[in-house]
């Protein structure tokens, strides 16, 4: 990715730092550091503010940082220095009157240890530590062109792999085996790994939205739900769900499928810049409620995807806010009837300046 991308992201973050009334933010979340600098390692931190920008890392990563982050000021610790002491000394040099920590990421112990280490330096000036949650995550909601291209690629690989392993679905494979060969196939096509633990749920297992793939064989029921996605080496992800018939599907399941598909299309149709998050959820939920299954759709309609599999914005009945161009969200209504089965259909949708673009393209019908 071009270095200007990272500078542009840093500039946007500076506005949020100013709004929060602090002079600097210590970014410690691994994905956040990577998003802001392009550095792909871990155990590092970025101190950033209007008058300071330093990447703090250790000697293992010195060469890598020079390659990945040209021009960025760095502070490299040796094994004899502990990270909190390194941070304290870099902060002491920068002397912000108020410093924010990512309080949604650092542990209570880390927060206390950092406050203590920073408070104990002889900076000749006391530094006030403030919690600040999700500033970088707020930026990450809106994808730039490179991120959209990476997400398209993650979807492309997930779909291609799914098509390639589909014949295996009709053998006597276990759920777990299918999950493993699907991940392996995605890797062959360039994925770094699955975007999350792949769900392969045969028969009534599909009624559990967070089922983990187990030992049940594909042929033991007439249908199987698969929820999968690819994570690229860059970290960007896809997230898809389909239900496949592997035998004669019960008519009630076919009915559920029709309702869920109609709900999903209604949800997708509601996606545009300025649409309220809860209204998009409602557009799909209304269809399921009207069919009498409202009590069996127990989760939100969707969520943002990016460097993490669950990001803002959330499409749900309790979400505040609205969609913006550059959001990429899943749309995944479901109906789950305990001890019978569930249907969920999930696609990934980009919010465009004019409306939306469905980025995924696998057929949604029974085959």
Task: Select 233 or 292, whichever has its Cβ closest to a copy of itself.
Answer: 233
Task: Select 89 or 177, whichever has its Cβ closest to a copy of itself.
Answer: 177
Residue with tokens 């991308």: 5
Write down the least CB distance from residue 105 to a copy of itself, Å: 6
84 binds a copy of itself (CB under 8 A): no
Q: Are 12 and 21 in contact (CB under 8 A)?
A: no
- Our CA dihedral for 289, 304, 101, 91, rounded to 10 degrees, sits at -170
Task: Select 45 or 249, whichever has its Cβ closest to a copy of itself.
Answer: 45
Which tokens in the block code for residue 149? 């291209």
22 binds a copy of itself (CB under 8 A): no
Which residues are within 8 A (CB) of 306 and not within 5 positions of it... i.e. 6 or more apart? 140, 141, 143, 147, 151, 236, 237, 328
Write down the least CB distance from residue 107 to a copy of itself, Å: 6
Residues 100-139 that bind a copy of itself (CB under 8 A): 101, 103-112, 131, 133
208 binds a copy of itself (CB under 8 A): yes
* Spatial separation of the C-alpha atoms in residues 200 and 218, rounded to whole Å: 9
310 binds a copy of itself (CB under 8 A): no
Select the span of 5-13, 44-52, 162-170, 206-214 touching a copy of itself (CB under 8 A). Answer: 206-214
74 binds a copy of itself (CB under 8 A): no
* C-alpha closest to that of 165 among 224, 121, 207, 114: 224
* Residues in contact with a copy of itself, shown as a per-residue x/- string from 236 to 265 under the rule CB under 8 A: ------------------------------
Task: Select 21 or 298, whichever has its Cβ closest to a copy of itself.
Answer: 298
Size of the site for a copy of itself (CB under 8 A): 28
Which tokens in the block code for residue 262? 């109609």
Which residues are within 8 A (CB) of 350 and not within 5 positions of it... i.e. 6 or more apart? 143, 148, 151, 326, 327, 328, 356, 357, 359
From residue 98, alpha-carbon distances to 9, 83, 104, 285 in Å are 22, 20, 18, 45
Q: Are 297 and 360 in contact (CB under 8 A)?
A: no
Residues 88-107 that bind a copy of itself (CB under 8 A): 101, 103-107
Write down the least CB distance from residue 11 to a copy of itself, Å: 26
* C-alpha closest to that of 362 among 150, 154, 158: 158
Residues 40-69 that bind a copy of itself (CB under 8 A): 41, 59-60
Q: Are 53 and 10 in contact (CB under 8 A)?
A: yes
The one among 19, 70, 79, 167 contacting a copy of itself by CB under 8 A: 79
**Positions that interact with a copy of itself (CB under 8 A):** 41, 59-60, 79, 101, 103-112, 131, 133, 176, 180-181, 184, 187-188, 208-210, 298-299
């Amino acid at each position: 990715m071009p270095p200007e991308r990272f500078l542009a992201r840093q500039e946007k973050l500076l506005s949020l730092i100013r709004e929060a009334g602090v002079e600097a933010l210590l970014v410690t979340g691994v994905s956040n550091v990577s998003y802001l600098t392009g550095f792909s390692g871990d155990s590092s931190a970025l101190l950033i503010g209007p008058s300071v920008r330093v990447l703090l890392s250790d000697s293992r990563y010195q060469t890598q940082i020079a390659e990945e982050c040209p021009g960025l000021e760095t502070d490299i610790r040796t094994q004899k220095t502990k990270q909190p002491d390194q941070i304290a000394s870099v902060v002491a040099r920068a002397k912000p009157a108020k410093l924010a920590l990512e309080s949604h990421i650092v542990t209570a112990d880390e927060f206390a240890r950092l406050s203590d280490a920073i408070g104990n330096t002889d900076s000749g000036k006391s530094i006030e530590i403030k919690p600040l949650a999700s500033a970088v995550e707020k930026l990450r909601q809106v994808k730039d062109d490179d991120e959209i291209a990476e997400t398209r690629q993650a979807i492309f690989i997930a779909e291609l792999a799914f098509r390639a392993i589909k014949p295996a679905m009709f053998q006597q494979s276990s759920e777990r085996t299918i999950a493993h060969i699907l991940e392996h196939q995605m890797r062959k096509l360039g994925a770094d790994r699955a975007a999350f633990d792949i769900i392969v749920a045969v028969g009534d297992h599909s009624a559990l939205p967070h089922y983990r793939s187990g030992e049940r064989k594909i042929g033991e029921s007439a249908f199987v739900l698969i929820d999968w996605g690819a994570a690229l080496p860059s970290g960007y992800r896809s997230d898809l769900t389909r239900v496949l018939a592997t035998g004669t599907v019960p008519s009630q399941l076919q009915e559920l499928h029709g309702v869920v598909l109609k709900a999903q299309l209604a949800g997708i149709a509601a996606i545009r810049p300025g649409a309220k998050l809860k209204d998009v959820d409602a557009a799909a939920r209304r269809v399921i409620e009207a069919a009498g299954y409202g009590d069996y759709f127990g989760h939100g309609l969707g969520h943002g995807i990016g460097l993490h599999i669950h990001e803002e914005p959330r499409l749900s009945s309790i979400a505040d806010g609205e969609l913006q161009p550059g959001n990429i969200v899943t749309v995944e209504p479901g109906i789950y009837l305990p001890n019978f089965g569930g249907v969920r259909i999930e696609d990934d949708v980009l919010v465009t300046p004019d409306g939306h673009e469905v980025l995924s393209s696998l057929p949604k019908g029974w085959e």
